[in-house]
Amino acid sequence: METFDVIVIGAGPGGYPAAIRAAQLGARVAIVEKEKLGGTCLNWGCIPTKALIGAAETFEKIKHAGKLGIIVTGASVDYAAMSGHKNGVVQQLREGIDSLLKANGVTQFAGMASFVDRTTLEVNGTRLGAKKIIIATGSTSAMPGFLPKHPRVVESRAFLDLQKLPATLIVLGGGFIGCELACMAAMLGVKVTVVELLEDILLALDADVRREVRAHMEKNLGIRVLTGKGLDKISADDKAARGQVGDETLTADILLCAIGRKPVTDGLKLENAGLKTNERGYIETDDYGRTKVATIFAIGDVTGKIQLAHYATAQGLTAAENAVQPKPHRHDTIVPNVIFTAPEIGTVGLSEADAKKQNRTVKTGKFRFAGLGKALAVGETAGFVKWIADAATDQLLGAAVVGPHATDLIAEAAAAIRAELTVAELGRTIHAHPTFSESWMEAAHAVHGECVHAPPKRK
């Protein structure tokens, strides 16, 4: 039986960095992948959606280029070519991972892994031994049983494989996946309706952030957003997919189900290793990435914590280090969250609502892009940045940005919050002019009521 120091199950954004880090630290490492290197993120998630959203945003800009003095006529979308661009990007990145694994001496096994015992796995009938095992099997779209099995009813993965855009689309679920794809399709000219059972879309965000995004989706992209009601009597046939919201029947070419993701543990035979999933199906871990079995780690979506690729990567690196090195350390807890809607959203740390729930005196400072020179100059003025701070210590607790480049802008906030900077320090940090990043400085000044580029608040 071939044996390794570390075997990683799953080569997604958590698994392959874990394998490479363990190899960098001198361990003999293998990685097992049942489908494609890169996992959901690279093949059917983050990357392909951003390829399409990037193209859609370019098209959107071209449509509105007139106000900047650029006259474009006859712009149109060749979705097949767009999809080809997306597939090319995915292909290139996948090959990159393959060569990185090889360069680091990580042995690859293609197939399903299952536990024989705590230190033995079986892949395609072959047994592999390992001192430490890292489970990184990820998650998959939840497709509830009441949905009809029909090509017109798809989840996000099948939606990305469509060769032709539908004319009309119903998105079931107003979470971040549903809203990202709804915005993308709407920018490319699809008539979109989003149906969310809860009282609002993107409910984990602060109300002011949600209001900004929803208003843009409804007014500028023409998306119908129906909230507080479920989609009933869902059916599909050769002509259309249908569903009922209240008294109204919705009809569309495609129904996209984006109501959440569920962990992948089928076929792992966890019981052979003495492991169990919790009542929601996740593998529980401590802050060091360890499961209940000391030599088995779990990372990423399958742990049911924060389902984001970069969090999986951080967990993966920590788990690999803890699996190989003698002194364990905890993984970080400041996790930026980015949503590629139109406009984009970035958040990190505590939301205003959560900070208030912690029994603190909370102060906020907001700065709207409409007051920013750079934003006006390039014609991207929607949205704002917001700091959430502790009034007692001036500590930056959280940040939210909605608007242009929000997903990049949030990086500064993440670094500042992790370093436990105070509002005053962030405000004294010189920010380059004219840039979008100046808004963080302005918002920090606003926390103390000292914003230069906004009228004083009436007392």
**Residue type for position 324:** V
Told to judge if 216 belongs to the known catalytic residues of this protein, a careful annotator would answer no
In order of 235, 255, 329, 410, 445, the CA distances from 151 in angstroms are 11, 9, 47, 38, 53
CB of 426 to other proteins, least distance (A): 9
Of 233 and 428, CB closest to other proteins: 428
Interaction of residue 325 with other proteins, rule CB under 8 A = no
Q: Which is nearer to other proteins, 218 or 420 (CB)?
A: 420
**422 makes contact with other proteins (CB under 8 A):** yes
- How far, in Å, CA of 425 to CA of 158, rounded? 47
Determine, following the binding rule CB under 8 A, whether residue 317 of this chain makes contact with other proteins. no
Per CB under 8 A, which region of 83-91, 236-244, 398-406, 420-428 contacts other proteins? Answer: 420-428
Cβ count near 356 (within 10 Å): 13
448 binds other proteins (CB under 8 A): no
Q: Which is nearer to other proteins, 127 or 329 (CB)?
A: 329
Among 208, 408, 425, 450, binds other proteins (CB under 8 A): 425
Query: Between residues 134 and 335, which has the closer beta carbon with respect to other proteins?
Result: 335
3 binds other proteins (CB under 8 A): no
In terms of CB distance, is 345 or 441 closer to other proteins?
Answer: 441
Q: Which residues contact 20 (CB under 8 A, 6 or more apart)?
A: 100, 101, 104, 106
How far apart CA 429 and CA 49 sit, in angstroms, is 35
**Is residue 419 part of the contact set for other proteins (CB under 8 A)?**
yes
Distance CA 203, CA 349 (A): 16
Residue pair 219/228 in contact (Cβ under 8 Å)? The answer is: no
The residue annotated as part of the active site, out of 329, 433, 445, 448, is 433
Q: How far is the CB of 68 from other proteins (least distance, A)?
A: 41
CB of 422 to other proteins, least distance (A): 5
- 355 is a contact residue toward other proteins (CB under 8 A): no
Single residue of 19, 37, 270, 421 touching other proteins by CB under 8 A = 421
Burial level of 52, CB count in 10 A (0-12/13-18/19+)? buried
Which residues have a Cβ under 8 Å from the Cβ of 426 and sit 6 or more positions away? 387, 396, 416, 440, 441, 444
Q: Which is nearer to other proteins, 344 or 390 (CB)?
A: 390
| Residues 13, 14, 18, 21, CA torsion sign | positive
Does the footprint of other proteins cover residue 58 (CB under 8 A)? no
- With contacts defined by CB under 8 A, name the span among 8-16, 53-61, 363-371, 421-429 that binds other proteins: 421-429
Assess 301 for contact with other proteins (CB under 8 A).
no
420 near other proteins, judged by CB under 8 A: yes
Say how far apart CA 374 and CA 382 lie, in whole Å. 12
**Binding residues for other proteins, total number by CB under 8 A:** 11
ω into residue 455 within 30 of 0, thus cis? no
Q: Cα–Cα–Cα angle for 438, 442, 446, nearest 5°?
A: 165
The mark string for 385-414 relative to other proteins (x by CB under 8 A, - otherwise) is -----x-xxxxx------------------
We find the least distance from the C-beta atom of residue 79 to other proteins, in angstroms, to be 47
Cβ(402)–Cβ(339) under 8 Å?
A: no
The residues, any chain, with a CB within 8 Å of residue 342's CB and separated by 6 or more, are 57, 60, 183, 186, 187, 216, 217, 220, 221
Is there binding between residue 225 and other proteins (CB under 8 A)? no
Q: Alpha carbon 202 to chain centroid distance?
A: 12
Residues lying near other proteins in the complex (CB under 8 A): 390, 392-396, 419-422, 425
- Active-site residue list: 433
